[in-house]
Amino acid sequence: MNNISSSLMDMRVITACIYICLILLCMRSSSSSVMFARGQDVGSDGGGRRQLVPAMFVFGDSLIDNGNNNNLPSLAKANYFPYGIDFAGGPTGRFSNGYTIVDGIANLLGLPLTPAYSEAVGSQVFHGVNYASAAAGILDVTGGNFVGRIPFNQQIRNFESTLSQIGMELGATEAVANSIKQSIIFIGFGSNDYLNNYMMPNYNTKNQYNAEQFADLLMQQYTRQLTRLYSLGARKFAVAGVGAIACVPSILAQSAYSKCSVDVDNLIAPFNRKVKAMISNLNENLPGAKFIYLDVYRMFVDILANPTQYGFSVIDRGCCGIGRNRGQISCLPLQAPCARRDQYVFWDAFHPTEAVNILLARNCFSGNTNVAFPMNIQQLANVEV
């Protein structure tokens, strides 16, 4: 584990130095692309599908960030080419070549693509807002190596601001409260609390807690945070577990045989197990609440175990990156990515491609109880609360 931590730290120090130089060169052209692309997102019609819920509000990290870090003093940004190479309008801040998982879910729900909180204005917020921030975690201290990020606690405060905005626009009516109750609250946290906290050598976390104790610490905070969202009127929650981070190119690059890390798998296993238990507990103790658990780990492992069944041929390296497995340094500004992006499971050192994100979205939306427990998002959307 110490070797993994040191290698991750070295990689990020090198990446940070390169980013500081190169991102500044791309920033002016990127910002105009962001504004253009965001306008297109909000104008989406949800693929022509019937709208199943009033809105979707999104909380999480870089897996679902869509631009909230763009204007932060942060090293965790993706508002430059080739990020967004397959997204209408180009780079937006999404850590993908195109759609994220929540983009796919919004489409299936018949909603417009959810605008970033940092850019949402006026009536755009009525169909939901995305508060996710790259490098953010359940714990406020997580992700400090990347400087600027928006932890879950601050994302919740931003949600409160949105509710105030909606109240001022429409009036604090019963109809608005009911709309929030019927909306989907999508939450995806945990990866950074491991990758950018517990596994970082400049954090003392691993010396304070073993895997079980750290997962318990996260659950205590996570439970408080989800309960706070409930107190603000939210009732329909879709909570994603941590995916197969033991198999991302950054971790594979540290193995002589490009193998998934058993140590990392064992580290995150208690978290996923306890999140599922937390979901059951919240369903029992919060009247009217409907929480579901999305087993992203199981879905991702199945893709990696049976790639050809899903149309993939490359599972052991990123489409865009540098070094072993294209995972030692993540995708840099203006770097040429792979040509056949739909064949790759991983886009960069840490994040999946659009093709994988769409598959995950479909499974979360209509999958069985092996991947969405005790129901899927489609069923959650149709439940009256």
Out of 30, 74, 261, 351, the active site residue is 351
Distance between CA 134 and CA 69 in Å, rounded?
A: 7
Residue with tokens 């609250």: 185
| Helix count and strand count (H, E) for the chain | 12, 9
For residues 322 and 332, the answer to whether their CB atoms sit within 8 Å is: yes
Distance between CA 267 and CA 311 in Å, rounded?
A: 30
Q: Which amino acid is at 226?
A: L
Distance between CA 2 and CA 235 in Å, rounded?
A: 41
Distance between CA 110 and CA 47 in Å, rounded?
A: 7
List the structure tokens of 383.
């439940």
- Please list the alpha-helical segments (H only) found in 171-210: 174-182, 191-193, 205-208
Instruction: Give the number of other Cβ atoms within 10 Å of residue 309's Cβ.
Output: 9
List the structure tokens of 367.
């999958």
Catalytic annotation present for 62: yes
Which secondary-structure segment (H or E) carries 318?
strand 314-318
Out of 30, 33, 62, 118, the active site residue is 62
In degrees and rounded to multiples of 5, residue 240 shows phi and psi of -90, 135
The 3-state secondary structure of 100-152, one letter per residue? CHHHHHHHHCCCCCCCECCCCCHHHHHHCCECCCCCCCCCCCCCHHHECCCCH
Distance between CA 119 and CA 112 in Å, rounded?
A: 15
Answer positive or negative: Cα dihedral of 282, 283, 284, 286.
positive
Q: Which residues are catalytic?
A: 62, 348, 351
